[in-house]
């Protein structure tokens, strides 16, 4: 692909500055671009849990920096006995959100590295966190090129939630593909679902794409099947929070229904996810812990309640799309057509 087909985003959601983690507060976008400083590992846990930072790779990277802060805090408290002192902080970071495996993956990478360290762990763990951060950006650019090459010129595509620069180290997974495909003249129009209740599609995806001149049209979640049929959507392109060993994919609630609708309307389904989102220890989608959040996220908007008092709300925030509904899985190590257990194992073995 020609160099002009490379697109890049200026959105920078995660930074390490002056010994602290600086996060773009995604709860306030697109209305305000405010940064939140996290100077302690506890502040990082809160930021992940409260969705200041969100998106599977992004919470993994934030968690890695949280581990650096946790190690520094433990070293300051107890010196060489720091490894027994940081356990509670490690658990709190690992469990801040349960579905996206990138968080546990990143925490475990730092725990493993910590086992062989001598002396003050702050600097070596910071180097590793920065390495994971840089690797995620590189993976997104690679996936963007691989996924874009699958899209025919002039296509209409649909995406769900926000799998963009905001959800990663930059560029994005699904939106990385859309950025590169648009730069290569392959995308004419992008439909973005609003993504109730946090409105990641309405607030974040449409912000990321429109500020770069990528033609995005916002739709309600409920109109997606109608739009697929009426507008000849060629691809549904989404990210993932966890890919099980058999290729089942957990992603933002609604993805499963969109994949069923895509199959019914001849749209192909592309899941774009770095290897840090793959979990060989999860045999299939039924073993994935689906995060459930407070009912108030559904019964209120902007802090104002509109559902009747006392009504019960059920708010699972992810669902599982069976591998059989996925046409291609795009990773930085290559593309898997019709993903299944054997093809995923083969790709991982080849790494």
**Site residues for ligand MRU per CB under 6 A:** 54-57, 100, 161, 163, 167-168, 173, 200, 239-241, 251-252, 317
Residue closer to ligand MRU, measured from CB, 54 or 141: 54
Nearest approach, Cβ of residue 53 and ligand MRU (Å): 9
Q: Nearest approach, Cβ of 55 to ligand MRU (angstroms)?
A: 4
* Minimum distance of ligand MRU from residue 324's CB (angstroms): 20
Q: Which is nearer to ligand MRU, 55 or 339 (CB)?
A: 55
Q: How far is the CB of 83 from ligand MRU (least distance, A)?
A: 30
Nearer to ligand MRU, 140 or 246 (CB): 140
Over the chain, what HEC string results? CCHHHCCCCCCCCEEEECCEEEEECCCCCCCCCCEEEECCHHHHHHHHHCCCCCCHHHHHHHHHHHHHHHHHHHHHHHHHHHHHHCHHHHHHHHCCCCCCHHHHHHHHHHHHHHCCCCCCCHHHHHHHHHHHHHHHHHHHHHHHHHHHCCCCCCEEEEECCCCCHHHCCCCCCHHHHHHHHHHCCCEEEEEEECCCCCCHHHHHHHHHHHCCCCCEEEECHHHHHHHHHHCCCCEEEECCCEEECCCCEEEECCHHHHHHHHHHHCCEEEEECCHHHEECCCCCHHHCCCCECCCHHHHEECCEECCCCCCCCCCECEEEECHHHCCEEEECCEEEECCCHHHHHHHHHCC
Pick 73 or 279: Cβ nearer ligand MRU: 279
Cβ-proximal residue to ligand MRU, closest one: 239
Please say if 241 is a catalytic residue: yes
Catalytic residue (one of 19, 37, 88, 241): 241
Catalytic residues: 241
């Amino acid at each position: 692909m020609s160099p002009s087909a490379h697109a890049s985003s200026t959105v920078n959601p995660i930074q390490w500055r002056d010994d602290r983690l600086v996060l773009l507060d995604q709860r306030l976008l697109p209305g305000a671009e405010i940064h939140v400083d996290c100077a302690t590992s506890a502040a990082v846990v809160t930021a992940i849990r409260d969705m200041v930072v969100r998106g599977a790779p992004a919470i993994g990277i934030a968690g890695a920096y949280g581990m650096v802060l946790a190690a520094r805090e433990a070293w300051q408290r107890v010196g060489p006995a720091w490894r027994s002192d940081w356990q509670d902080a490690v658990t709190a970071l690992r469990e801040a959100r349960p579905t996206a495996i990138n968080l546990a993956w990143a925490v475990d990478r730092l725990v493993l590295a910590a086992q062989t360290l001598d002396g003050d762990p702050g600097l070596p763990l910071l180097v590793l966190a920065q390495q994971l951060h840089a690797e995620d950006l590189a993976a997104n650019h690679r996936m963007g090129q691989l996924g874009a090459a699958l899209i025919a010129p002039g296509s209409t595509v649909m995406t769900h939630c926000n799998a963009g620069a905001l959800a990663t180290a930059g560029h994005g997974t699904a939106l990385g593909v859309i950025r590169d495909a648009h730069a290569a003249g392959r995308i004419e129009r992008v439909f973005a679902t609003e993504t109730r209740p946090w409105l990641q599609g309405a607030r974040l995806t449409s912000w990321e794409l429109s500020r770069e001149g990528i033609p995005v049209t916002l739709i309600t979640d409920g109109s997606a099947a109608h739009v697929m049929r009426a507008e000849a959507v060629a691809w549904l392109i989404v990210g993932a929070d966890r890919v099980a060993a058999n290729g089942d994919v957990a992603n933002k609630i609604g993805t499963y229904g969109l994949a069923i609708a895509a199959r019914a309307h001849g749209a192909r389904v592309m899941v774009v996810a770095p290897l840090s989102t793959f979990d060989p220890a999860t045999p299939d989608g039924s073993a994935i812990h689906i995060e459930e959040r407070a009912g108030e996220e559904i019964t209120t908007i902007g802090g104002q309640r509109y559902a009747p008092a006392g009504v019960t709300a059920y708010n699972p925030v992810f669902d599982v799309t069976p591998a059989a509904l996925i046409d291609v899985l795009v990773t930085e190590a290559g593309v898997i057509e019709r993903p299944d257990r054997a093809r995923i194992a083969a790709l991982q073995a080849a790494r």
